[in-house]
Amino acid sequence: MKSRLILSTMALSFLALASCGPKAFVKGQYDDVERENLLNDQWSETDMQKAVRDLVTSLVNSREINKPGKVPVVIVTGLQNKTSEHIDTQSIMDMVRVELMRTGKVAFIDKEAREDIAKEYEYQNSGMVDEGTRKGPGGQIGADFSINGRLDSIVQEVGKDKSVYYKLTLNLTSLKTSMISWSDQKQIRKTFKKKTIGL
C-alpha cells in the first residue's frame, strides 16, 4: 500500500513537471501574411509592411522620381538599426526595392552582385569564353541615387502598460551632388498590457 502511494506521488510529480516544461509546436497551418501580427511587443512583419508601403508610396509620388526623361537608377546602401532589438534590416531594404520595382518607375543596381560580376568578367576574359559573347568592365550603368535610412525605437513601460514606438526614415540621395533629393518617415506606435499569469 505504501509503495503504491509512493509510486502514485512520483507519477503525479512527473506529470506536474512535464506540464511546466517547454511546449512543442506540433500542429501548424498557413496564415495570411497581410493579417496583423501582434503576438508580442517586437518589430513584426506587419510593422515592416505598413512602414515600407507608406514610404514607397511617398517616394513614387515625389518630384524626383516623376521627372520626365529616363527612369532613375537607384542603389540600396543600407539601413541603420538604432533599436534595442535584433532586426533584419536587409529584409526591410529588400522589401523597399521589390515594392519600388513593382511600380516600374525605378531601376536598381545590384550592389551585392558586384563581386560575383567582377569574378565572372575575369573568367570570361580568360580565353575560355567565345569572344562574341563575353562581357567585360566598362559597360555597367552608374546609379543616379542611393537609398539609405535608419530605424529608431522608444520603449516606455509604466505598471502593466507598455508602449513601443518605431520610426523608419528613408533618404534618396543624389550621387552627383550628394544632396538629399527626398526624405520621409513612417511612425508606428503599439500599446500592450501585461496579463497576470496564474498557476
88-145 pLDDT per residue, tens: 999 999 999 999 999 999 999 998 888 899 899 999 989 899 888 988 888 889 999 9
Q: What angle do CA 57, 61, 63 make, to 5 degrees?
A: 145
Question: In the chain, what are the domains?
Answer: 41-129+140-193 (3.40.50.10610)
- pTM of the predicted structure, to 2 decimals: 0.78
In the chain, the amino acid numbered 49 is: Q
With 80 as the cut, is the pLDDT of residue 20 above it? no
- Residue 93: what pLDDT? 96
Question: Cell 532586426 maps to which residue?
Answer: 87
Q: How many residues does the chain have?
A: 199
The per-residue pLDDT of the chain, averaged, comes to 87
Cβ neighbours of residue 182 under 8 Å, at least 6 residues apart?
A: 58, 59, 62, 63, 64, 65, 171, 172
With 90 as the cut, is the pLDDT of residue 52 above it? yes
In the chain, the amino acid numbered 94 is: D
Backbone angles phi, psi at 128, to 5 degrees: -85, -15
